[in-house]
Structures are given as C-alpha cells and as structure tokens.
Amino acid sequence: MSNTPKELKYTKEHEWIRVEDGNIAYVGVTDHAQSELGEIVYVEVDTVGEEVAADEVFGTVEAVKTTSDLFMPITGKVLEFNPELSEDEADNPAAINEDPYGKGWIVKVEISDPEELAALLDAAAYTDLIA
C-alpha cells in the first residue's frame, strides 16, 4: 500500500508538492511512483535557475527498467536541485526510493502564482487515481 501524506498536493503524473512558507515549495515523486519505477539510478535536472510552466518537463528520472520525465506541478522558478540526488554532490538517487517525501525531494521551487495550487489533486483524489 502506497503512502500518500494528507498535507501534500499531487499531480496526475505522480509528482507531489509541499508548500513551505510564502511561495517556496518542494517537489518530488510519490511513493507510488518510486515503487512503479523500481530502483532509481540517476536523476537529471537541467532547469535550475529557469522558470518552468506547469506541466512542463523539469528533469528526468532514470530507473533500471524505464526512463520517466518529471513534470512541474505548478509554474515557478527552479531554485535548487536536491544535492542528495545530484551527481555533482551526494549522487544518491536511491534516496527517492527510500524516502520519496523526505530526503528524496527533487527540486525546490519559487511558485509564480499560488492560485494554481487549487488545480492540483489532494491526497484523497490522488489515492483514487492510483487505486
């Protein structure tokens, strides 16, 4: 059974977003997504410093069996790529498998328009989606 925390918002593409204070948010992939992907061996984010529109690709996750694009839940500027995952730093992409909502977060973003949040799925709707 996948873990789907109540306090997060979700996309149909299996990303989660957690809004911190103000317009700052963290984005990652869900427990369901990491389980479906299997062992994640590489994460690439080539949009740091860029403004990326909602539903656009901000990076790629490479698992042994498959490659999956990462989609922005919401329009915003990509501020940071999690150093735990980055090949230039800790290079530990398996953190997504181990802790998808914690140390496996993928990017930190600055939200352009908080009103877009209303269009995302809540935990109940996402749970229905993956049921």
Partner 1 sequence: MKSTPLTDTHIALGAKMAEFAGYNMPISYAGIRDEHEAVRNGVGVFDVSHMGEFVIKGKEAFDLLQKVTSNNVAKLEIGDAQYSCLPNENGGIVDDLLVYRLPEDKCAEGERAYMVVVNASNIEKDWNWIEKHNSFEAEMHNISYRSGLLAVQGPKAHEAMQSLTDVDLAGMKYYTFKKGVFAGIENVIISATGYTGSGGFELYCDNKDMKKLWDAVMEAGKDWNITPCGLGARDTLRLEMGFALYGNDINDTTSPIEAGLGWITKTKKGDFTSRDIFAKQREEGTERKLVGFVLSDRRAPRHDYPIVNEAGEEIGIVTSGTISPSLDKPIGMGYVKKEYAKAGTPIKVMARKKALEGVVTKPPFYKV
* From 53, 55, 67, 79, residue interacting with partner 1 (rule: CB under 8 A): 67
- Shortest CB 87 distance to partner 1, Å: 6
**Could you say whether residue 6 binds partner 1 (CB under 8 A)?**
no
**Could you say whether residue 50 binds partner 1 (CB under 8 A)?**
no
- Shortest CB 27 distance to partner 1, Å: 20
**Gap between the Cα atoms of 126 and 90, Å rounded:** 31
Query: How does strand 51-52 pair with strand 76-81?
Result: antiparallel
- 81 to each of 65, 118, 128, how far by Cα in Å? 23, 25, 30
- 75 to each of 52, 62, 93, 105, 114, how far by Cα in Å? 6, 24, 25, 18, 9
- Shortest CB 62 distance to partner 1, Å: 6
**Could you say whether residue 44 binds partner 1 (CB under 8 A)?**
yes
- Shortest CB 57 distance to partner 1, Å: 8
How big is the chain, counted in residues?
A: 131
Size of the site for partner 1 (CB under 8 A): 14
Per DSSP, what are the bridge partners of residue 59?
Answer: 70
- Interface residues with partner 1 (CB under 8 A) are 35, 38-39, 41-42, 44, 46, 60, 62, 64-67, 87
